[in-house]
Structure 1
Amino acid sequence: MNVRKLVTVVEETRLEGGREVDPVARVAVVAAVIENPWAGAGFVEDLAPGIEANASELGALLAPRVLEALGGTAEAYGKAGIVGLDGEVEHASALIHTLKFGDHFRKAAQATTLLPAVEKRGRAGTTFDIPLKHVTDATIRSHHQSVEVQVPDAPHAGEIVVALAAATRGRPQQRLAPLSSEQ
């Protein structure tokens, strides 16, 4: 796996809706800009060798970094894969939609739910929103949120941006009734 750069973003929301947020809402994102192992090879029928060579190592690299950057317990989490223009969306999906990748984050965050994701193709500077859900109960509405991310110089045409995100809490000032109230 060839990593060109790692990018860490930490966001703290202290005021929302004109009111103090207590405790402060923290969201952290760590993104790796990597060489796309399938770019330029034409249509690759079997993605398994590239997954085997990269996904676990990538998950092991990102999971502890995002939790360290968060500086607290992860209550919500998500992932993203943005492939450069010389690749296919399936290339990003191949790396992030495997237990070899995601289980590193699930174990580190003591999570049990599906790790929500976004993937798309774009040029350098593409903005993407990483969806977040509660780490143990995806029906907890307060934790349904997203974080907007952009790496100004990535992905290059032959790269993939792979990112993990975590939040210390749900949306600031959330006021929606529990999902169970509608069932």
Structure 2
Amino acid sequence: MGIEVRKIIQHVEETRLENGRRVEPAHRVAFVGAVIANPYPSEYVADLVTLADGLGEEIGRLIGPPCVELLGGEVEAFGKAALVGIEGEVEHGSALIHNLRFGNVFRSAAGGTELLPAAEKVGLPGSPIDIPLKHKLDAKTRSHHQTVTFQVADAPRPREILVICAAANAGRPLARLAEFGAETRNS
């Protein structure tokens, strides 16, 4: 059983100015989302893992490497999300994206070693989802902690799941917080 894809969405945001200051190089975030038929039945099933194991790599290949390509440069931060349509459970989206067969495809394409931060929820068509991003090699790198918002006007419909990969070429524009733990060190 493979996935049934209704549509693929590719989007890039580029920030060139932040608070009146130039952002150089421009801060880029790439999103690739797939609107798929929810592979799980609408009634409760106990085993979500077996199906996720069978589909994870296919979904990962569909959106992970294309997200890295769309960014058009080195990935520094990444994240993932699943927005489940009504008549589905948040656990359906969680099962698909919290699966190493899915995550490893994206992580490998991005050259990352950290776990992918994630968000998942149930929503109506057009609902936004906030996707957390963290540094691909060190999740404690504060400058790369950021949240980006993604939405598709007609997705997810009932019995669909919108699965998204997001990648950024840098940390937050104009990031200037101290490194992790600096506030607890004695001077």
TM > 0.5 fold call: yes
> How far did 1:5 drift?
0.2
- Aligned residue for 1:79, secondary structure, equals strand
The separation in 2 between residues aligned to 1:165 and 1:11, in whole angstroms, is 11
User: Which residue number in structure 1 is paired with residue 8 of structure 2?
Assistant: 6
- Aligned residue for 2:166, secondary structure, equals strand
- Aligned residue for 1:174, secondary structure, equals coil
Instruction: Report the aligned-residue RMSD.
Output: 0.9
> How far did 1:56 drift?
1.0
- Number of residue equivalences: 182
User: Pairwise mapping of residues 7-156 of structure 1 onto structure 2 (< 5 A)?
Assistant: 7-40=9-42, 42-156=43-157
User: Which residue number in structure 2 is paired with residue 160 of structure 1?
Assistant: 161
Gap regions ≥5 residues in structure 1: none
> How far did 1:181 drift?
1.0
> How far did 1:135 drift?
0.3
The separation in 2 between residues aligned to 1:39 and 1:142, in whole angstroms, is 41
Letter aligned with residue 11 of structure 2: V
Q: Structure 1 residue runs of 4+, over 4 Å off? A: none
> How far did 1:114 drift?
1.3
The separation in 2 between residues aligned to 1:85 and 1:64, in whole angstroms, is 28
Gap regions ≥5 residues in structure 2: none
Letter aligned with residue 136 of structure 1: L
Give aligned-pair identity as a percent: 54
* TM-score, scaled relative to structure 2: 0.95
> How far did 1:182 drift?
2.3
Letter aligned with residue 49 of structure 2: A
Letter aligned with residue 7 of structure 1: I
* TM-score, scaled relative to structure 1: 0.97
The separation in 1 between residues aligned to 2:49 and 2:165, in whole angstroms, is 22
> How far did 1:39 drift?
3.7
